[in-house]
Structure 1
Amino acid sequence: MPKDMMPQKQTTAKVTLRKPAPTDGAAIWELVRACRPLDENSMYANLIQADHFRDTCVLAELDGEVVGWISGHVIPKQDAFFVWQVAVGPKARGMGLGKRMLLELLSRDDVSDATVLKTTITKDNDASWALFRSFACTIGGDLTDEPHYEKDAHFDGAHDTEHMVSITLPAEEISLARAA
Structure 2
Amino acid sequence: FSGDGFDIEPIWRAINHTVWRTRFDKLAADHPDDLSPTFLKQLARAADVSGVDYQQAMFDRTALFRRVQSLLARGDLLAMPTLTRTALPIDQDLFGTIEIDGRSFDSVRPHWFPWTMLFNMTGHPAISIPAGFGRDGLPIGLHLAGRFRADAELLRVAALFEAASDLLGRWPALP
TM-score normalised to structure 2 length: 0.31
As a proportion of its length, which structure holds more strand?
1
Rg bigger for which structure? 2
